[in-house]
Structures are given as C-alpha cells and as structure tokens.
Amino acid sequence: MNIKLVKDFSKVYDAYVMPKFEGEVKVYEGLTGEEKLVLEKLIEKKEFTGKKGTSISCDLMHKGRLVNITYLGLGNKEELRPYEVIEAFYKALKGIDGEILVGTHGVEVSQVVEAAHYSKYDFNKYKTDKKDPKEVSFDIYVEEDTDAICEGTALAESVMLTRDLVNEPANVIFPESLAHEVTLLGEKCGFEVEIFGEEKIEELKMEAFLSVARAAEKRPRFIIMRHMGDPSSTEIHGLVGKGLTYDTGGLSLKPSAGMANMKTDMGGAATVIGAMAAISRMKVKKNIVTVIAACENSIGGNAYRPGDVIGSMGGKTIEVDNTDAEGRLTLIDAVHYIINHENVKEVIDVATLTGAVLVALGTSTTGVLANNDEMYKSLEEASHVAGERVWRLPNFPEYKELYKSKIADLKNTGGRFAGSITAGMFIEEFVGETPWMHLDIAGTSDASAPYGYYTNGGTGQIVRTLYNYYNKK
C-alpha cells in the first residue's frame, strides 16, 4: 500500500472517494457531458443530500477508463466527530483497490490518512493459503501543503502495532520476545529502552510481581521505555501497562472458555508501547517514561497459592485470595517502581484488569479510576479528540473495606460487587500522593467481532487518547 498527498488530480484513477457535507452536494466541475449527467441523475434518484452514514457510488467511463466514483455523506460539518470521519472513510476505502483518489475537502487530512491505513489492516500472517493482496495506492487530495501524512501514518501504524501485539499468540509474544520487540521499536522510533532480567527484578524486591511470574517456564522481564522530549523540564509523566503475556488464572485456574483469549492479557502493555511509538515518532515535547512488568500467570509445583501471604516492593503485605487476580499484583510493583525510581510526577496505568468492567460498561467504553479530577478532565478531553470512550468510576473510601485482609495489610480481591473499582483501588493503595489514573481496557482492547473501524481482535483503542493526552500544549 502506498499513500501520498497530491495537489492535483488531472491523472485518471480507478476510483474516486469524495466527502460531501449535508446540503453541499455538488458534482465536480471537471466532469462534463454524459459523465456529469450520470452523477446528477444518480444524486436525484437516490435523494442523496450528504446525510451522515449515506453514500452513493457508480461506475462510469472517464477519459477512456472505467472509473468508480463514491460520494461519502458526512452530515452536518459542525456535528461531525473525529472518529466518524475515520469510520466513514474506512468503510468507503475497505472494499476498493487499484489507484484511488481520496478527497479531503472540509475534513482533517490526518484522519483520512489514518482511515486509509486501517482500511487494509488484516492480521492474516498465519494463513498459509492467502492470496497476494491486490495493489492499492491512495492519492490524498489536499488544497494546501500539510504534514498530516506524518501524523496520520504515525498514529495508524502505532495503533496497528498495538493490534498486532494483542493478536499475536502467547507462544510468539512472551516476556522475553516482547522485550525484544520493544528494543527493536526503540531503535526504530528513537526512544530509550532498558530491560531488567530476573536478577535485577529480585534485587529491586518486586515480590508481588515475582510471585505471579514464579511458575511459568517463560521467565519475566521488566521493560522500561524513556522518551525525553522536553530537556528544559524536569517533569516526567509515568505510564504503566499490564503485561500478562498469558493468564491461565494460576492455581485458581480459569475454565476453558474464560482462558481461551488470555493471550490478550498484555493489552495494556501493547497500548502503552503503541502510545510510546506515536509519541516518539511525533517528537512530543514531554518527558514520558513507560514501564511494563511482563510475565505469564501459569501453574506448576512452584506456583503461588491462594492463601499465601506475599510482600511487595512498596512494603505492604498481601494475602493472595485468588491467583487469577494477578494483574493488580504485577501493577503495584510497576507503579511503585516508576514513582520511586523514575521520579514521575503523575502516573497512568492501562490494564485488561477485570471481567467486571465488561459487565459495567460493555465493549465500547474504557473504565477509569482517578485520584485527581484535573487529570481525569484532561483524559476526557483527549478521548473526545480521539473518539474513544472513557467513563469514570468512583473510588469512595467505603470500598476499601472490601479488600481488607484478616492477616495481612490487603487481600488481592474485593468480592463479587464493584469488582473493577476494588481492583483499581488496590493499585491506588500503592501510589501515595502521586496523581494517578487507572484505565481498565478489558472490554475495549480486543473485539470479538468487527465494529466501527475495528477488525476482529486487537483494536488499538486508547493509543490515540494517550497520544492526545500528552501532545496537548
């Protein structure tokens, strides 16, 4: 696939996709005679007014070539949300190939560039009988010079990287191979990477993380990424991703149906890696450090058990009530590390943390907990720009009762009620006064069926929200 910006379209293409706002449907002046008549009659016959979600399409002979023309209704310009632009173009571009001219009149060019990328996304590398993909090139028509192709491509490729990582099975992506991928990505995008092996993790006394990692044959890694985009500032923003490359549930073993898709339990890690790729490629003027405590929650004679009492890097003791509530155990050590060893002034963790968030918010909306209103407000704004949904859940102190332990400081579950809240608040116990936000993406990072501009599997949701969050002036 080839995407470039063009400032004229005198060349004849196989297909043309042109956005039209409601009440502004005009046939392009370059078309004359019969060609123009066909389009005008079609508009009349289909009563096409440019309403959102509608489109018309036809084939006609143009300068000796059979060309396809699509008019894409975008509705009212003022009411158009960013994701709707991506979605509309995605749907129009998905089914066509060859040489394509795409109009951008009145819309954000980088969003059209993104849509072009997503329209050909297909995780089919493990299919042995796949056909060679048809040649496709997108010429994006712009009236003025813009560097939108850079931003659109950086965002789309980062989102697709996140999708790929989520879609890769656990026999391909495990802590060591994930660390390797991040190392290569750092070289490519320009961020610094540091990897801690088990010895260093032990030295740092990440006992909670190590307890979860203990039984797996695939050994843990602690992955650190650093983007220092603002050397004039000492402020560092912290980002943490849950990196369970597989979650069997441990000795509190998951039933088959619940385990089947647990290769995706590193969705938080994939998201923060994608965000780092976008941030460093676009040279965002902020200092951002990201960490991932990557491991596999497995079973074996050496596994941590329900009933065990374990320590944590932060010092608090934890009674393990359920080995399947492992994400929060890895996250507390990652959060403690980033606050105390990377000196971040705020921290966001992103995690496929609870099935309960699916019960509460479904598959479209990311659940959020925050100990800081301003931070949440800023995330909300960033999410609006990205067209990704977030919703805040409460962290009232009453809920703390639910995860008190009789014999240790805390236990790692909070019972059947308010499962997403108690899971998030458990992490909050380890952030102290540091402004903190927790994003539970268990419902949103992976799709069991295509929707919007998402395909089956990893969605890459929240990558663009995080990018916008840090990219604000």
Q: Catalog residues that contact Mn ion under the rule CB under 5 A.
A: 247, 324, 326
One residue of 35, 164, 207, 247 binding ligand BES per CB under 6 A: 247
Say which entry of Zn ion, ligand BES, Mn ion, none residue 322 contacts (CB below 5 to 8 A, set by partner kind): ligand BES
**Binding-residue pattern over the window 249 to 288 for ligand BES, x denoting contact by CB under 6 A:** ----------------x-----------------------
Name residue, tokens 């000796």. Answer: 64
CB of 325 to Zn ion, least distance (A): 8
Q: Which of 80, 356, 370, 418 is in the footprint of ligand BES by CB under 6 A?
A: 356
Site for Zn ion in 188-247 (CB under 5 A): 244, 247
Distance CA 398, CA 343 (A): 30
Q: How many alpha carbons fall within 13 Å on the CB side of residue 98?
A: 14
Q: Of the residues 36, 46, 94, 254, which is catalytic?
A: 254
When CB distances are held under 5 to 8 angstroms depending on the partner's kind, the choice from Mn ion, Zn ion, ligand BES, none that residue 413 binds is ligand BES
Judge contact between 332 and 208, C-beta under 8 A: yes
325 touches ligand BES (CB under 6 A): yes
DSSP state, residue 134: P
What are the backbone dihedrals phi and psi of residue 242, each rounded to the nearest 5 degrees, phi first?
Answer: -70, 125
- Give the count of residues interacting with Zn ion (CB under 5 A): 4
Given the complex with ligand BES, which of 265 and 333 has the nearer CB atom?
A: 265
Closest by Cα among 278, 444, 424 to 349? 424
**For Mn ion, the closer CB: 247 or 349:** 247
CB 267 within 8 A of CB 292: no
Q: Choose which of 324, 333, 428, 429 interacts with ligand BES (CB under 6 A).
A: 324
Total chain residues near ligand BES (CB under 6 A): 15
Q: What is the spatial distance between Cα 281 and Cα 185, in angstroms, rounded to a whole number? A: 11
* Longest alpha-carbon distance in the chain: 85
440, interface contact from ligand BES, Mn ion, Zn ion, none, CB < 5-8 Å by kind: none
Indicate the Cα dihedral angle 447, 449, 450, 452, nearest 10°: -70
Of 463, 462, 454, 364, whose CA–CA distance to 94 is shortest?
Answer: 454
Output the six-digit token pair for 115.
């849509």
Contact window for ligand BES (CB under 6 A) among 17-25, 168-176, 323-331, 340-348: 323-331
Q: Which of 238, 311, 327, 458 contacts Zn ion by CB under 5 A?
A: 327
Question: Quick check: is 328 catalytic?
Answer: yes
218, 221, 328, 464: the catalytic one is 328
C-alpha–C-alpha distance, residues 132 and 381, integer Å: 41
88 vs 270, beta carbon nearer ligand BES: 270
With contacts defined by CB under 6 A, name the span among 87-95, 101-109, 347-355, 450-458 that binds ligand BES: 347-355
Tell me, residue by residue from 384 to 423, as one string, x for binding to ligand BES by CB under 6 A and - for no binding: -----------------------------x-----x----
- Give the 3-state secondary structure of residue 2: strand
The total of other beta-carbon atoms located within 10 Å of residue 473's CB is 3
Query: What are the CA-CA distances from residue 450 to residues 73, 74, 363, 457 (Å)?
Result: 22, 21, 12, 8
What is the Cα–Cα distance from 116 to 120, expressed in whole angstroms?
Answer: 7
Which segment (14-22, 140-148, 325-333, 341-349) binds ligand BES by CB under 6 A?
325-333
The least CB distance from residue 426 to ligand BES, in Å, is 10
Binding mask 283-322 for ligand BES (x = CB under 6 A): ---------------------------------------x
Q: Which of 348, 442, 462, 466 binds ligand BES (CB under 6 A)?
A: 442
Q: Tokens for 228, please give them.
A: 């220092």
Between 352 and 366, CB nearer to ligand BES: 352
Pairing of strands 98-102, 15-21: parallel
DSSP string, 448-470: SS-BTTB-SEE--TTHHHHHHHH
Position of minimal CB gap to Mn ion: 324
CA distance 463 to 446: 13
Cβ contacts of 58 within 8 Å, gap of 6 or more: 38, 39, 42, 68, 69
Within positions 251 to 270, which residues make up the interface with Zn ion, using CB under 5 A?
A: 265
242 part of the active site: no
- Residue 164 as a binder of Zn ion (CB under 5 A): the answer is no
- Residue 396's contacts (CB-CB under 8 Å, 6 or more residues apart) are none
Beta strands at 15-21 and 457-458: parallel, antiparallel or unpaired: unpaired
Alpha-carbon distance 155 to 467, whole Å? Answer: 8
Which range touches ligand BES (CB under 6 A), out of 153-161, 186-194, 272-280, 324-332?
324-332
Residues in touch with ligand BES (CB under 6 A): 247, 265, 322, 324-327, 352-356, 413, 419, 442
Residues in touch with Zn ion (CB under 5 A): 244, 247, 265, 327
Q: Which residues are catalytic?
A: 254, 328
